[in-house]
Amino acid sequence: MDISTVLKLADELVFAKTGKHLEYLEEAILQGTLYGQKYSQIAEDFHLSEGHIRDVACKLWKKLSDVLEENVSKANVRYILEKAKFYNFSTIGNDNLTINNVNICPQSSQPSQATPQTEQTPKPHIDLGDAPEIFSFFDRTPQLTTLETWILQQHSRLIAILGISGIGKTTLSLQLIEQIQHNFNYIIYRSLRFSPTLETTLTNLLQIFAPKSETPQNIETQLSQLINYLRQHRCLIILDDIHTLFSSKQLAGQYQTGYENYHLFFQLITQITHQSCLIVNSWEKPREVVQLKKENNAIHCLLLEGLGEAAKEIIREQELLDEDCWQSLIDRYQGNPLWLEFTANLIKELFAGKVSEFLQCDTLILSESLQAQLDQQFQRLTSSEIAVMIQLANENEPVCLAHLIKKLDLPTSELLNAMQSLGMRLLLDVKECDRTRFFSLNPVLKQYVKNRYTERNN
Ligand SMILES: Nc1ncnc2c1ncn2[C@@H]1O[C@H](COP(=O)(O)OP(=O)(O)O)[C@@H](O)[C@H]1O
Ligand SMILES: [Mg+2]
């Protein structure tokens, strides 16, 4: 998260309502809190007593509560300011911001540190549809930089953000909007979670560009109209959850009947010249993205992995205890933000927040919500893919293909297709040693497969 922007927003809100800027120590406390510092650490940094910091902080939360008309505290200040920043600041633009009837003109307070980018294009038209609210955002700086380079410098036309459910694809793409919105005329986000047909998606998109015009019925005319808009305007379109377009119980990346024309749509986006970018988020690597990538450098793929160190902020937000054990909690749950959120809830409810006690459990604990989340992905697998997952869950070490061929009672071609498909679903860990590939499951998937498929059936 861009803490300096959030601080600036807080100061501007306070100034607009009270006519006074935040005091130096108030700003320092707010900044420390946004960085996840405890009062004792802030006190130490400023050579002041912890009691004094607490007193000033208490007045600060009261001041912000009055300004924002919400009960602000140390625990929720980040969420409330982030919410205000994202849903008002970025959507309306930096020039004129209204929150709770407080009208803010940044120019009238501190000198703006905004980059001259704002002058390049007029305010973008932003339509986020039913995008979820971002409550907090940590790190992902390298991924944001990579996406920004692909989009702004390399003029990529199609980007696939791929990763297992809960890893942060939706959150990352919404944060990206915030960062690069001034380079676009139109920014659109739509989730395809209910598997809309291409006609429905195109109708929906065309209505954003021309709300009063009648949308053509013919899909070819719809496509050519959309391409025209992508040429005329610089547009960033995010289509989330495109895995819903693919069939369940078939190998990865096969379109459901009636959805094959999405392939044509993605192909057109990459092959025709225009000045826009389409981002698709998916659990599964779409086949054409793999195939097209070879011959077309307007396509990029970002494979999203766990959050690493920054995941500590998620644990801090949940107010868990035993900070020295947090890293091992993160490692066990692969830094997957959603898995960590589910597990943190469980630790709060059953272990009163004590991470060290939770970690003493002899198996890896998967909450029912976490398993339900994985169920959605596993329901899509074929029986041969499930057989491979069960075999891998029972292995203690990564194994090579020859071992799996020997162990599994599957025709070799079926096994190879299943392995390739599991790879496209991002469910396998792969290592190479002496030019041999070794396959394994991460501990969470391993435990899930044991819980759902092995132990229950015994
Ligand atoms: N960088 C991040 N910082 C803080 N929270 C995050 C981050 N990425 C994801 N999350 C949280 O993790 C959960 C899952 O993220 P989401 O973007 O919905 O994942 P995906 O779209 O890959 O399924 C959400 O509750 C989200 O708030
Ligand atoms: Mg998502």
What residues does 281 pair with on adjacent strands? 161
Tokens in use for 64? 């912000």
What amino acid is encoded at 73 in this protein? Answer: S
Which ligand is nearest to the Cα of residue 169, counting in written order?
A: 1
Task: Tell me the residues surrounding ligand 2 (ion) with CB < 5 Å.
Answer: 170
**Residue 253 near residue 286 (C-beta atoms within 8 A):** yes
Give the pLDDT of residue 1: 53
Distance 373 CA to ligand 2 centre (A): 12
Kindly report the protein residue whose alpha carbon is nearest to atom 17 of ligand 1.
168
The candidate with the shortest Cα–Cα distance to 285, out of 164, 389, 153, 408, is 164
| Strand ranges for 43-163 from DSSP E | 97-99, 102-104, 125-127, 158-162
Ligand 2 centroid vs 21 CA: distance in angstroms? 38
Looking at the CA of 134, name the nearest ligand.
Answer: 1
Beta pairing partners, 99: 102
Rg (CA), the chain: 25
Q: Ligand 2 centre and the CA of 53: distance in Å?
A: 39
- Put residue 12 in one of left, alpha, beta given phi > 0 → left and psi -120 to 50 → alpha: alpha
CA-proximal residue: ligand 1, atom 23 (nearest):
166
The ranges of the chain annotated as CATH 1.10.10.10 are 374-455
CA of 273 to the centre of ligand 1 (A): 33
Which CATH architecture is the domain 122-303 placed in? 3-Layer(aba) Sandwich (3.40)
Sign of CA pseudo-dihedral 177, 182, 183, 189:
positive
* Residue 2 three-state SS: coil
- 240/201 Cα distance (integer angstroms): 12
What is the per-residue burial (b if ≥16 Cβ within 10 Å, else e) of 236-262?
Answer: bbbbbbbbbbbeeeebbbbbeeebeeb
Which residue's C-alpha comes closest to atom 8 of ligand 1?
168
Residue 97 is predicted with a pLDDT of: 43
Atom of ligand 1 nearest to the CA of 281: 21
Mutate to test the pocket of ligand 1, among 79, 170, 171 (most ligand atoms within 8 A of CB): 171
How far is ligand 2, taken at its centre, from the CA of residue 80, in Å? 22
Question: Exposed, middle or buried: residue 109 (CB in 10 Å: 0-12, 13-18, 19+)?
Answer: middle
- The strand pair at 429-433 and 436-440 is best described as antiparallel
Cβ burial of 199 (10 Å; 0-12, 13-18, 19+) is: middle
Nearest CA to 372 out of 441, 451, 281, 283 is that of 451
Return the pLDDT at 104: 40
Lining ligand 1 with CB less than 6 A are 135-140, 163, 165-171, 307, 314, 337-338, 341
Please report the atom of ligand 1 found closest to the CA of residue 132: 18
Rounded to the nearest whole angstrom, what is the distance from the C-alpha of residue 166 to the centroid of ligand 2?
7
Nearest protein CA to atom 14 of ligand 1, as residue: 166
Interatomic CA distance for residues 429 and 432, integer angstroms = 10
**Tokens of residue 409, six digits:** 């009672």
Identify the nearest ligand to the CA of 315 by its number.
Answer: 1
Q: Which residue has the tokens 């970690």?
A: 359
C-alpha 310 – ligand 1 centre gap (Å): 12
State in Å: Cα 107 to ligand 2 middle: 36
Contact 373, 448 (CB under 8 A): no
Question: Would you say 57 and 29 are in contact if contact means Cβ atoms under 8 Å apart?
Answer: yes
Residue 424 backbone phi and psi in degrees, to 5? -65, -25
Architecture of domain 3-105: Orthogonal Bundle (1.10)
Please tell me the predicted confidence (pLDDT) of residue 41: 85
The size of the chain, in residues, is 458
The ranges of the chain with pLDDT < 50 are 88-121, 458
CB 127 within 8 A of CB 188: yes
88 touches 80 (CB < 8 A): no
Reported as a single tens digit per residue, the pLDDT across 318-370 is: 899 999 999 999 999 999 999 999 999 999 999 999 999 999 998 999 999 99
392-397-403-407 Cα dihedral, nearest 10 degrees: -50
CB 389 within 8 A of CB 382: no
CB 25 within 8 A of CB 46: yes
Would you state the pLDDT for residue 28? Answer: 85
3 state DSSP class of 443? helix
> Closest Cα to atom 11, ligand 1: which residue?
337
* DSSP H helical ranges for 99-196: 141-148, 169-180
H or E, element range at 385: helix 383-393
| Closest protein CA for atom 4 of ligand 1 | 137
CA 430 → CA 300, 422, 425, distances in Å?
21, 11, 13
SS (H, E, C) 251-306: CCCCECCCCCHHHHHHHHHHHCCCCCEEEEEECCCCHHHHHHHHHCCCEEEEECCC
* CATH architecture, domain defined by 374-455: Orthogonal Bundle (1.10)
Q: Which ligand is nearest to the CA of 143?
A: 1
19: Cβ contacts below 8 Å, ≥ 6 apart: none
